[in-house]
Amino acid sequence: MFTVPTFGLASGERGAAIDRSATSVLTVQNLHRRYARVEAVAGVSFSIGRQEIVGLLGPNGAGKTTIINMILGVLAPTSGTIHIGSCEVARHRAAALSRTNFAAAHAPLPGNLTVRQNLRFFGLIYSIPDPRARVQSLLEQFELLSLGDTKCGLLSSGEQTRVALAKALLNNPDLLLLDEPTASLDPSAAQIIRGHIRELAHHGDCGILWTSHNMYEVEEVCDRVLFLSRGKLLLEGDPKRLPGEHGARNLEDLFIRLAREPLTPQQGSRP
């Protein structure tokens, strides 16, 4: 079992532009994104606090990936604002993204590089102070020392997930984006990874945005969930209480109902 890494400000980062005393690590306000006549994201607003895991849920095409790409600065919003801490992504992209990181099952690290080479490479990208020491620390924390000189393409799915998470923590991020991080894992490995991520959030200083189609996983991991459909935010609340508040048996039942017959934002809002 690896030890929980801390999210304290690393040496040399004291002058970062982001105000780490801010309560919210991510604030999205009235976000829109249009593609020709299609509005992929239509007026979405939400925030994520420190030590909070928020699930971003919805069927394929709901707008989740578009929102993540806008948070990462890959796409520019048609309108609306995104702040990571006190930094607006549109105006201070480099500073904002220096305090952000990302891991996804569908985005493996280069398979021709070893675990250690991958972590050192991304450490240089993030301008990590003393990258050699930081990489060594993460290898120890994620029990990857014996795999340090193994090419990532030869690792099992569970081992690749651990490397991806180690990479995602290189810069001690304020905001961690996890897109289906356990999708390729067997149930036992997925349970272990979920437990580690909860520890990382609740004993650290970051906030996590988590996307998944596994409603059992979402209910186990997330403190709060956001339901998207056709680019609009329909429901928000505690994943354990939300189904009962809307007459559903469980979170999966509620997900299926929203995917098939989406509520309007007015119907979905709580009194």
Give the count of beta carbons closer than 10 Å to the beta carbon of residue 169: 23
pTM: 0.83
Looking at residue 11, what is its pLDDT? 35
Q: Model confidence at 263, in pLDDT bands (50, 70, 90)? A: low
Range in 81-85, 131-135, 147-151, 262-266 the model is least confident about: 262-266
| Token digits of residue 250 | 């469980």
Range in 76-85, 103-112, 218-227 the model is least confident about: 103-112
Q: Model confidence at 1, in pLDDT bands (50, 70, 90)? A: very low
For 164-200, the pLDDT digits (tens) are 989 999 999 999 999 988 887 788 888 888 888 888 8
Looking at residue 262, what is its pLDDT? 56
CA–CA distances in Å: residue 131 to residues 5, 102, 114, 165: 15, 18, 16, 16
Distance CA 265, CA 235 (A): 7
> What mean pLDDT is predicted for residues 141-161?
92
